[in-house]
Structure formats: structure tokens, C-alpha cells
């Protein structure tokens, strides 16, 4: 396939070459021989009348012109991917589609994991790439590189459609052997305990719960910070520390670890999780099916979380 004399397959090769900066590694990713990738680079150099990648020692360094081409190439590939993936029909039983989803490890635990178990039966050929949320994922979403973002409602972009998935409350979680967790905590007791807080990712972003606990400021004794929700489960056993977590996640942790939960001694608004898709994908039957499946899984796991209850040791 040529467009204005350029073999469009070479755009894929250009993107991989600029990522890897190595003919051999690019050949591995493209599943081609090294001579074939070298020939592709030679054709690119000829077409653009630029070296594109210059060998310096054992490294290949992009030229300034190559650096200017790269975002254009990536945008072109993202739009081509969008064109291919967007379909008015979708059959989960026969589809081989790979969905790209952005979600926190909380969502990966309480929603994505049970959804993947369901996929084995209803959509055995469907797979997922699941990545974290954050500023980079928002850019990828806007560029069409992510099919669906699952996040708290207030973090969703106002420019694209959302669908509510579930609501959740927050609870206090602690080790079963922590005497403070034998009964519901009052506010003074809660504030007197050591806390494990969650600061998401390398940017140390505040979670929904942490934002709503800001008024307690220096009254809280944050002894440990975790960059993930999942890390909290490993930091509470055999200690007198506590953490504030979503009830669905707390139910999973209490089943898997020696933990219990109690009600919060103050109010935090309900967490409202939504699925967001790009406005250009409004007619994509595959994404509509994916979000429907997420909603069904969320409804099914709600009963399990509520069944766990908020209780002390037993």
C-alpha cells in the first residue's frame, strides 16, 4: 500500500526503529530479519532524504528531522488503529480483538480480574492490555491509543462520554490482631493510630479518599505511604497501623490476608466509578460490549463485597 510514493508499512518500521534505536531489536519486534529492517531503513532514508538514525558507537541516534517525524508517525498509526478497531458489529465468541484499558490497581483487582475470568467462557479470543491511570494515559486516550478508561467520576474528561459502573464506600482496614480493630473506631482513636496512606504512582497523586481526609491534616500519623492500593494489604498484618480503603477492595484483602474492616468514624462521599470511551468510538460495538461486560461484573461483585460486611474479628 503506497500513499504519495511511500509504502505505508514503512511508517510502522519507522516508529519501531525510533523506539528501539537498534536494527536488531527492531527486527525482533517486527518479526523480520535484520537485513529486511536495514533495507526498510534505507528506503526510509531515501524517501525522506535524511539519515533519520545515525550510528554513534553502538548506539543509533535520531536526527532532528526524525524526531520531528515521530509524533506525526505515531498519530498516523493511532488513527489507523482506531479505523481498524472501530466496528459496527462485534461477536465476542469469535473475536480476536485486544482491548486497551487504563485502570488503577484497585480497579484491576475488583473489576478487571473477575472480568478476565468471565472472558475465558464468553469471549475466549478476546484479550486486554491493562495499564495505569495518570497524565500519560490521558494523552494516550486522547490520541486513540486507549479504548477505555475506568476512573472516579470526577477525574473523567468532560469532552468524552462516560457510563457509570458502580459506587463504593470507604472503610477502615487493619490487622485482625490489632486491638483497636475489635470494635468500630471513634475519631480520636482513628487519628491516634499509625496510618498507611496511598499516593499513586511516581507523581504521588492523592487518591479519592486522601483528598477527602485533607481536613485532618497533621492530626493523622501517616507512617507509611504506598504507591499502589495493593501494597497496603502487605503493610498492615502484624502491625497496629490502619488504612482507609474502598469496601470492595477491603473485602478482597480481608479474604486473602489476616485483616478486618470497620466503618469510618467520619463521612466520605460515595466513590462513583465510571467507564469512559473516546467520543469518536461512540459506534464501536466492541467497546460498547466491553463496558456492558464491566457493568455486569461490577453488579455481580457488589453482592460479594456487601456480603463481607463491616465487622470485627470472628
CATH number of the structural domain spanning residue 262: 3.40.190.10
Task: For residues 181 and 231, state if they share a domain.
Answer: yes
Task: For residues 232 and 295, state if they share a domain.
Answer: no
Task: For residues 142 and 277, state if they share a domain.
Answer: yes
Task: For residues 122 and 254, state if they share a domain.
Answer: no
Task: For residues 202 and 190, state if they share a domain.
Answer: yes
How many domains are contained in the chain?
Answer: 3
For the domain that residue 76 is a member of, what is the CATH number?
A: 1.10.10.10
Q: Phi first, then psi: give them for residue 154, nearest 5 degrees.
A: -70, -15
What pLDDT, on a 0 to 100 scale, did the predictor assign at position 261? 97
- Per-residue pLDDT 10s for the chain (314 aa) are 555 557 777 888 999 999 999 999 999 999 999 999 999 999 999 988 999 999 887 789 999 999 999 988 888 887 777 666 655 578 999 998 999 999 999 999 999 999 999 899 999 999 999 988 876 677 788 877 889 999 999 888 898 999 999 999 999 999 999 999 999 999 999 999 999 999 887 677 888 999 999 998 888 999 999 999 999 999 999 999 999 999 999 999 999 999 999 999 999 999 999 999 988 888 889 999 999 999 999 998 654 444 444 443 33
What pLDDT, on a 0 to 100 scale, did the predictor assign at position 92? 92
112-139 pLDDT, tens per residue?
A: 999 999 899 999 999 999 988 876 677 7
Task: For residues 144 and 284, state if they share a domain.
Answer: yes
- 123 falls within a domain: yes
What pLDDT, on a 0 to 100 scale, did the predictor assign at position 244? 96
- 298 falls within a domain: yes
Task: For residues 25 and 7, state if they share a domain.
Answer: yes
74-114 pLDDT, tens per residue?
A: 888 877 776 666 555 789 999 989 999 999 999 999 999 99
Give the residue from 52, 85, 118 where a domain finishes.
85
What pLDDT, on a 0 to 100 scale, did the predictor assign at position 83? 63
- 90 falls within a domain: no
Task: Provide the domain limits for residue 215.
Answer: 170-269
- 314 falls within a domain: no
Give the residue from 28, 52, 85 where a domain finishes.
85
Task: For residues 44 and 178, state if they share a domain.
Answer: no
Give the residue from 85, 111, 129 where a domain finishes.
85
Task: For residues 150 and 279, state if they share a domain.
Answer: yes
Task: For residues 265 and 184, state if they share a domain.
Answer: yes
Taking the whole predicted model, whether its pTM rises above 0.75 is answered as no
Task: For residues 114 and 249, state if they share a domain.
Answer: no
- 312 falls within a domain: no
What pLDDT, on a 0 to 100 scale, did the predictor assign at position 304? 44
- 209 falls within a domain: yes
What pLDDT, on a 0 to 100 scale, did the predictor assign at position 5? 59
What pLDDT, on a 0 to 100 scale, did the predictor assign at position 310? 47
- 92 falls within a domain: no
What pLDDT, on a 0 to 100 scale, did the predictor assign at position 193? 96
Task: For residues 219 and 208, state if they share a domain.
Answer: yes
- 53 falls within a domain: yes
Amino acid at each position: 500500500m503506497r500513499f504519495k510514493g511511500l509504502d505505508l508499512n514503512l511508517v510502522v518500521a519507522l516508529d519501531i526503529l525510533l523506539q528501539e534505536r537498534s536494527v536488531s531489536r527492531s527486527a525482533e519486534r517486527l518479526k523480520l530479519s535484520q537485513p529486511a529492517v536495514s533495507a526498510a531503513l534505507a528506503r526510509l532514508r531515501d524517501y525522506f532524504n535524511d539519515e533519520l538514525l545515525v550510528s554513534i558507537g553502538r548506539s543509533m541516534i535520531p536526527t532532528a528531522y526524525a524526531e520531528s517525524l515521530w509524533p506525526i508517525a505515531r498519530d498516523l498509526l493511532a488513527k489507523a488503529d482506531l479505523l481498524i478497531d472501530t466496528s459496527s458489529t462485534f461477536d465476542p465468541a469469535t473475536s480476536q480483538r485486544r482491548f486497551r484499558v487504563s485502570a488503577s490497581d484497585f480497579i484491576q483487582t475488583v473489576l478487571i480480574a473477575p472480568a478476565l475470568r468471565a472472558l475465558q467462557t464468553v469471549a475466549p479470543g478476546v484479550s486486554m492490555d491493562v495499564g495505569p491511570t495518570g497524565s500519560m494515559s490521558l494523552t494516550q486516550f486522547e490520541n486513540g491509543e486507549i479504548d477505555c478508561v475506568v476512573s472516579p467520576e470526577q477525574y473523567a474528561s468532560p469532552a468524552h462520554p462516560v457510563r457509570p459502573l458502580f459506587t463504593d464506600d470507604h472503610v477502615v482496614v487493619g490487622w485482625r490482631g490489632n486491638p483497636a480493630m475489635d470494635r468500630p473506631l471513634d475519631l480520636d482513636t482513628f487519628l491516634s493510630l499509625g496510618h498507611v496512606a496511598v499516593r499513586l504512582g511516581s507523581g504521588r497523586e492523592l487518591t479519592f479518599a486522601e483528598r477527602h481526609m485533607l481536613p485532618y491534616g497533621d492530626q493523622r500519623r501517616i507512617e507509611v505511604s504506598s504507591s499502589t492500593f495493593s501494597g497496603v494489604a502487605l503493610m498492615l498484618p502484624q502491625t497496629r497501623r490502619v488504612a482507609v480503603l474502598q469496601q470492595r477492595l477491603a473485602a478482597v484483602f480481608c479474604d486473602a490476608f489476616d485483616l478486618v474492616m470497620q466503618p469510618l468514624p467520619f463521612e466520605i462521599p460515595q466513590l462513583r466509578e465510571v467507564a469512559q470511551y473516546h467520543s469518536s468510538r461512540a459506534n464501536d460495538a466492541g467497546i460498547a460490549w466491553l463496558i456492558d461486560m464491566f457493568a455486569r461484573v461490577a453488579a455481580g461483585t457488589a453482592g460479594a463485597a456487601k456480603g463481607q460486611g463491616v465487622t470485627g474479628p470472628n
